Amino acid sequence: MTSSSPILKQTPKFLSALEGQSHANPPVWFMRQAGRYLPEYRAVRATAPDFISFCFDPEKAAEVTLQPMRRFPFDASIVFADILLIPGALGQKVWFEAGEGPKLGDMPSVESMAEKAGEAGKALSLVGETLTRVRSALDPDKALIGFAGAPWTVATYMIEKGSSDRSGARTFAYQNPETLDALIQVLVDATIDYLAMQVDAGAQALKLFESWAEGLSEPLFDRLVTQPHIRIIEGLRARGVTVPIIGFPRGAGTLVEDYAARTPVQGVALDTSASAKLGQTIQKTKTIQGALDPLLLRAGGDALLKRVDEMLEQWNQGPYIFNLGHGILPDTPIAHVEAVLERVTGQKVGQ
Amino acid sequence: MTSSSPILKQTPKFLSALEGQSHANPPVWFMRQAGRYLPEYRAVRATAPDFISFCFDPEKAAEVTLQPMRRFPFDASIVFADILLIPGALGQKVWFEAGEGPKLGDMPSVESMAEKAGEAGKALSLVGETLTRVRSALDPDKALIGFAGAPWTVATYMIEKGSSDRSGARTFAYQNPETLDALIQVLVDATIDYLAMQVDAGAQALKLFESWAEGLSEPLFDRLVTQPHIRIIEGLRARGVTVPIIGFPRGAGTLVEDYAARTPVQGVALDTSASAKLGQTIQKTKTIQGALDPLLLRAGGDALLKRVDEMLEQWNQGPYIFNLGHGILPDTPIAHVEAVLERVTGQKVGQ
C-alpha cells in the first residue's frame, strides 16, 4: 500500500502517532524547520520587506513552509506564521526590528480587544490561505500543523511590549489579577476562533505554544496555563473541531505531569530538560513529542547521535513524535539535521 | 529553656529541620536576605569601592550578614560573599560593572587552575574571617550558613565570561567534553577546599547554589550537576566535615526528584515552580526548603499571604525550611517581608 493509493488512504504517520500508535521509526519534524538555517529560506525572506509582511504573504509563507518538506523526510509541516499575529489582530501594534526581538505598541483596553476576539480568524485569514496552499501541495502522507501562541505566553509579550525581562508579566499577574484574567479570556476566545479557521483552511493538527511557562508557581500555572488550555480545547471541540491538539508547556518542570493529566490534549511536547521517566509516565495516556537539545543538534558529533539513540530507546516503546525541545538554531549545519533524520527514519538522507 | 541557657543548649531550629524534624512554625530565612532591599545594607555598600572588595572586607561583610538578623526573626544567616570568588581564586579575573552582571577575564588553562584548586580555602580565607566574626556575634539559636556556587554554574560564568547568554556554556559542554569535565573536576576540588575552610571558620551548614541547572538534558544534568555534587559532598565527608548540606538545583524541573534521591544532601532547595507533590515526595527522605516567588513577595497583597498559607499547608507536615525560590529583589518593600515573617513565625514582626 502506498500513500498515494486512491483506494486505501493511509493515515499520515504523524497523525497516527497522535492517535496513540507507536512506530518502529517514529514520525519526526523540527520546531522552526522552516527557518534561517536553510539557504532557500533566507533567499525568500530577503524578498519580504519585514517579518510580519512575510507572515501575511501566503505565497511566500507557503513556499518556506514547504521548503524543509522537499529537502528532508519530515512527517509534518507547520504553517509559517508567528505567535504574535494575535495581538495584531486585537489591535496592538507588533513589529520586528532587525537583530532584536519583537516590539509591541501600547496594549489596547481589554474591552476593545474583547470586541475583536471573535473575529480573530477572519482578521488572520491570510494564514488560512497559506495553510490551504500548503495542504494542496503537500504529499498525502505528510501532515499539516496549525498553531497559536498560548494565552499566557502571548499575554507576556502584550504586557511587556517586547522586553526580554519576563518578570514584568508575572508581577502584573500578581498585582492585577482581574485585568489579567480578563485579558487571558480574550486571548482564549481569539485563539479558539483563529485555530478553528486554521482547521477549516486545511490544518490536520494544532499546537499550542506555551513558550514562557517557566518560573510560574503551581497555582499561577493552573490559572494561567492549564485552565486556559482546557477552555481553548473545549471551545474548539464545541465548534466541531476534531483534529488532534498538542500542548507545549515549555519550562514547566514538575508541573508538566499534572498538565498532561488534566488538559484534554492528545500530545504533550516536552522541552530539553524532560526526564525519561516524565515522558514514559505521560505516554501511558498521551503521545509525547520532543525533546532533542537544539544546541546539541548544532554542535553535532558523536554526542548527538548517542543522544538520539537514548531518546529512541527511552521513548519509542510508546506513542512518540521525534522533535527538538525548542526551535532549531539559525546556524545549525544542514548535515547535522540529515544525520539525525537518518538515525530516526532509518533511511539514507541527503547526499 | 531559653536559647541562652548555658546548660541545656538547644539545637538551632534551622539545623534541627535539616536533621529531619518538623516544627509548628518552620524555620525561615531568605536568599539574599543581606541585600539592597535594606537601607542599612546600601549604606555599608556605599563605603566599599567595588563589589569584590566588599566581599573581601570581613568587617563590612560580617556587618551586612548580621543586619537582617537584627531586623527580622530569621533563623539562619548566610555569609555575605559571591559565587564568583572561586574563579578569582583560580586565577581568572572577575569584576562587576555598575548596573550590569559580572564580567570575567579570559579563563586560565585548566592545568594552571588545577594547581590552585587545593589552595582555594587559603586564597579565600577572608570569607572565613567573615564567618568567624558573624558566628561570634550571632545568637546561639541562630544558624550560620556557608556556601559556594556549584561547579557547572560557576563554569558557565567562567566560559561565557559574564555574557547573559547561557547557551555558550552548554555548547562548550557538547563540543569539548574532556576539557569541560576537567574544568568541573578542578571546581569540585576547589569547592571542597573552600567549603571545608568555611566550616572550620564557623559555618554550621553549607549550601551549593546550582543557579543555572535549567535546560540541561537528563544525561548532561547527571554529568554536570548530580555527579559533581556527589563528589563534593563525599570529598567534604572524607575531610571530616559533618555539617548538613543543602543542594539547590534551580530550574532542574523533573530532574530534581532524581537529584534528591541520588545526592547525599540533607536538604533540597526548591525553586518557584516546584509542585506541592515534588516537595512532599522529597520530604519522605530529606528536608526541603523554598519556594516563595520573589516577584510575589515584592507585589504583596492578599495573594502573598494566601500563597504563604498554601505553602505551609502543603509542606509543613514534613521537614521544611521556609524560604524564597530565588533571591529577594532589591525593590522589595520591607513591610512585605515583615508580613510574611509574621505569618510563618506566628509572632508580631516590625512596628
Q: What is residue B7's predicted lDDT score, i.e. its pLDDT? A: 53
Q: Average pLDDT by consecutive 10-residue portion of chain A (351 residues)?
A: 52 97 98 97 96 97 98 98 98 90 95 98 98 98 98 96 82 95 98 98 98 92 98 98 98 94 98 96 98 97 96 98 97 98 96 71
Asked if A175 lies within 8 A of B299 by C-beta distance, the reply is yes
Residue B5 falls inside a structural domain:
no
Q: What is residue A9's predicted lDDT score, i.e. its pLDDT? A: 67
Q: Give the dihedral sign, CA B112/B88/B237/B6.
A: positive
Burial of B53 (0-12, 13-18, 19+ CB in 10 A): exposed
Q: What is residue A350's predicted lDDT score, i.e. its pLDDT? A: 86
Using alpha carbons, select from B301, B312, B319, B320 the residue that is nearest to residue B343.
B312
Using alpha carbons, select from B88, B234, B111, B86 the residue that is nearest to residue B183.
B111
Asked if A340 and A29 count as a contact pair (C-beta separation under 8 A), the reply is no
Residue B6 has pLDDT above 70, yes or no: no
Least CA distance to B295: which residue of chain A? Answer: A171
Residue B348 falls inside a structural domain:
no
Asked if A272 lies within 8 A of B215 by C-beta distance, the reply is yes
Angle at B51 between CA B45 and CA B53, to 5 degrees: 95
For A219-273, the pLDDT digits (tens) are: 999 999 999 999 999 999 999 999 999 999 999 999 999 999 999 999 999 999 9
Query: Torsions phi, psi of B93, nearest 5?
Result: -70, 135
Residue B262 is which amino acid?
R
The minimum CA-CA distance between A248 and chain B, rounded to whole Å, is 15
Instruction: Please give the DSSP secondary-structure letter assigned to residue B103.
Output: E
> Chain A partners of B167 at a C-beta cutoff of 8 Å?
295
C-alpha cell at B63: 556587618
C-alpha cell at B135: 558566628
Residue B300 has pLDDT above 70, yes or no: yes
Residue A148 falls inside a structural domain:
yes
Least CA distance to A214: which residue of chain B? Answer: B273
For A113-132, the pLDDT digits (tens) are: 999 999 999 999 999 999 99
Residue A6 falls inside a structural domain:
no
ipTM: 0.91
Total tally of structural domains belonging to chain A: 1
Residue B6 falls inside a structural domain:
no
> Chain A partners of B296 at a C-beta cutoff of 8 Å?
174, 217
> Which residues are registered as beta bridge partners of B103?
B95
Asked if A214 lies within 8 A of B217 by C-beta distance, the reply is no
> Which residues are registered as beta bridge partners of B348?
none
Asked if B298 lies within 8 A of A171 by C-beta distance, the reply is yes
Burial of B185 (0-12, 13-18, 19+ CB in 10 A): middle
What CATH number is given to the structural domain containing A106?
3.20.20.210
User: The domain containing residue A245 runs over which residues?
Assistant: 11-343
B32 is catalytic: yes
Axis-axis angle for helices B177-201, B167-175 (nearest 10): 120
Q: What is residue B341's predicted lDDT score, i.e. its pLDDT? A: 98
CB neighbourhood size of B1 (10 A): 8
Residue A348 falls inside a structural domain:
no
Angle at B317 between CA B23 and CA B68, to 5 degrees: 45
Contacts of A20 (CB under 8 A, 6+ apart): A287, A319
Residue B61 falls inside a structural domain:
yes
SS (H, E, C) chain A: CCCCCCCCCCCCHHHHHHCCCCCCCCCECCCCCCCCCCHHHHHHHCCCCCHHHHHCCHHHHHHHHHHHHHHCCCCEEECCCCCCHHHHHCCCCEEECCCCCEEECCCCCHHHHHHHHCCHHHHCHHHHHHHHHHHHHCCCCCEEEEEEECHHHHHHHHHHCCCCCCHHHHHHHHHCHHHHHHHHHHHHHHHHHHHHHHHHHCCCEEEEEECCCCCCCHHHHHHHHHHHHHHHHHHHHHCCCCCCEEEEECCCHHHHHHHHHHCCCCEEECCCCCCHHHHHHHHCCCEEEEEECHHHHHHCCHHHHHHHHHHHHHHCCCCEEEEECCCCCCCCCHHHHHHHHHHHHCCCCCC
> Chain A partners of B291 at a C-beta cutoff of 8 Å?
217
Q: Which of B254, B278, B293 sits opposite A217 (nearest CB)?
A: B293
Residue B351 falls inside a structural domain:
no
